[in-house]
């Protein structure tokens, strides 16, 4: 007679208590509802204007901006057609009171250098400067750089602080007095097979000199 040896009994599966199951179920339901509301808000943001999107525009914008902004329209894609390059230069003052206008610093060139060859480029390098310029352009006249809405001064301060954070408080040991920006817009050329005419030459635009004070550096690292 052969004696059969049995191993240990298998461990019972984990049993969730009724309260734990209730909590897990509620958490899952909240996640599903939150995900659905978020996707609905993003859809309303990129969809053509309608009664619902107009009614809840403030709530939708509050959720989407700035982290989830899209630079395209859901039903009418409109990609960027120009490459915009932004440069800055400063005017400094030495101990004797003499002022010096420094060379241009390529702010956009710095961002491009950080992005190219980087498998996971920073969102800041890709979009911060570009969005700052879009903000400025949307609040100033292209003819004389006068303000066109109440957010114009904020746009100027935002653009100035981005540049000063990169340049610093001094250049060659001299204090910065003023800063100036230059923007160059180059139209993206059409493909060779399109038969379209070549784009016009790049257009450069210089903004007025802006004064720089201690307040402009507040909170900058």
Do both 96 and 42 map to the same domain? no
Report how many helices (DSSP H) and strands (DSSP E) the chain contains, helices first. 7, 7
Do both 136 and 203 map to the same domain? yes
Say how many C-beta atoms besides its own lie within 10 A of residue 153's C-beta.
10
pLDDT exceeds 80 at position 105: yes
Q: What is the DSSP string of 71-137?
A: SS-SSS-----EEEEEEEEEEEE-TTS-EEEPPPEEHHHHHHHHHTT-SS--HIIIIIHHHHHHHHH
pLDDT exceeds 80 at position 9: no
Do both 49 and 88 map to the same domain? no
Give the separation between CA 86 and CA 179, rounded to whole angstroms. Answer: 13
- Indicate the number of domains in the chain: 2
Q: Which residues contact 126 (CB under 8 A, 6 or more apart)?
A: 111, 115
Token pair for 106: 């390529």
93 within some domain: yes
Do both 109 and 45 map to the same domain? no
Tell me which residue range forms the domain holding 147. 82-217
* Mean pLDDT estimate for the chain: 87
Average pLDDT over residues 5-24: 74
Q: Which of 40, 54, 45 is nearest to 73 (CA)?
A: 45
End-to-end CA distance of the chain: 85
Average pLDDT over residues 149-172: 94
6 within some domain: no
5 within some domain: no
Confidence band (pLDDT; 50, 70, 90) for 19? confident
Do both 176 and 209 map to the same domain? yes
pLDDT exceeds 80 at position 71: no
Do both 46 and 104 map to the same domain? no
Do both 30 and 98 map to the same domain? no
Do both 97 and 25 map to the same domain? no
Average pLDDT over residues 198-207: 89
Do both 35 and 130 map to the same domain? no
Average pLDDT over residues 77-98: 87
């Amino acid at each position: 007679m052969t004696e059969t040896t049995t191993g240990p009994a298998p461990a019972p599966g984990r049993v969730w208590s009724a309260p734990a199951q209730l909590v897990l179920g509620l958490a899952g339901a909240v996640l599903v509802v939150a995900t659905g509301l978020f996707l609905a808000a993003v859809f309303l943001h990129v969809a053509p204007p309608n009664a619902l999107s107009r009614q809840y525009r403030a709530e939708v914008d509050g959720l989407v901006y700035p982290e989830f902004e899209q630079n395209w329209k859901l039903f009418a894609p409109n990609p960027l057609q120009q490459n915009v390059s932004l440069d800055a230069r400063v005017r400094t003052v030495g101990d004797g009171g003499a002022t010096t206008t420094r060379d241009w610093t390529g702010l956009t060139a710095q961002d491009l250098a950080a992005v190219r060859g980087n498998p996971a480029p920073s969102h800041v390098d890709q979009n911060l400067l570009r969005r700052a310029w879009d903000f400025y352009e949307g609040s100033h006249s292209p003819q004389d750089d006068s303000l066109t809405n109440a957010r114009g001064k904020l746009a100027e301060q935002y653009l100035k602080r981005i540049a000063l954070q990169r340049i610093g408080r001094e250049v060659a040991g001299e204090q910065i007095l003023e800063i100036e920006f230059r923007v160059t817009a180059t139209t993206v050329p059409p493909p060779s097979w399109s038969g379209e005419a070549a784009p016009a030459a790049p257009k450069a635009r210089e903004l007025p000199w802006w004064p720089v004070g201690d307040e402009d550096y507040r909170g900058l690292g």
